Amino acid sequence: MIAWAKSDPQLLNALVRPHLNGIVSYQVERVASGRSEPKIRVEESPRRPQQGQGEEFGMDILRAVAASGAAIFGQESNITTYNLARMNMLLHGMKDTEFEIYHGDTLKNEWDTLRETNPAKKPRFDAVVANPPFSYRWTPGDETSEDMRFKNHGVAPKSAADFAFLLHGFHYLKDDGVMAIILPHGVLFRGGAEARIRRKLLEDGHIDTVI
């Protein structure tokens, strides 16, 4: 599930960052075996979210963003999950006029709204939240390396599309936007193409917090 929001970045920061401060910090390490791939070591603090708080926290943010007059968008390829996502929004008090969830494949970028080729018209979002399937096997083609979502960072391997999902959301994020994504721990240390993508994200200063 990929969720997008257009709102005031100051509002989003005020809502999200107080919940993240002090939970974790991270450090970039380089292994001593001659390889220069950056690793990420996570240092946890004693203050951790309790079980069951995560979903309610997420809905609190969505309700606050919707109340501010922002537009909320989502995308999901699995028809069952797509229907559950819409039902979940309605059950939590969201009106169907306050959100739009598209049924389509994120990796294939099937949503016409996101396929705008004119950079001046490309949709960009203040916040992106994603919970993609872990280490999903996909089939990038020869043309995938020229896809604007991946061109600057590289293409995730066929065996694990984790960074493909991350780069998809990142591509549509505003310069001062905030993105949160749930990924398997392997993205912190796996080598090859993932190491190159991780290195660029780190060296460009695009990683803020690892939880």
Report the first-to-last Cα separation within the chain, whole angstroms: 19
Instruction: Output the pLDDT for position 25.
Output: 41
Q: Which amino acid is at 86?
A: R
Q: Are 164 and 156 in contact (CB under 8 A)?
A: yes
Long-range contacts at 28-35 (CB < 8 A, ≥ 24 apart): 28/202, 35/191
How does pLDDT run along the chain (211 residues), one tens digit per residue? 455 555 455 555 554 555 444 444 444 444 444 455 555 444 444 444 444 444 555 666 666 666 666 778 888 999 999 999 899 888 888 888 888 889 989 999 988 888 877 778 888 888 888 889 999 999 998 899 999 999 999 999 999 999 999 999 999 998 888 888 999 999 999 999 999 999 999 999 998 888 8
Where are the strands (E) in 7-151, listed by range?
24-30, 38-44, 71-76, 99-103, 125-130
- For 208, residues 6+ apart whose C-beta sits below 8 A from its C-beta are none
**Residue pLDDT, tens place only, 90-138:** 888 888 888 888 998 999 998 888 887 777 888 888 888 888 999 999 9
Burial of residue 149 (number of CB atoms within 10 Å: 0-12, 13-18, 19+): buried
Instruction: Output the pLDDT for position 72.
Output: 83
State the Cα–Cα distance between residues 143 and 103, nearest whole angstrom: 24
124 token code pair: 């960009």
Instruction: Output the pLDDT for position 57.
Output: 54
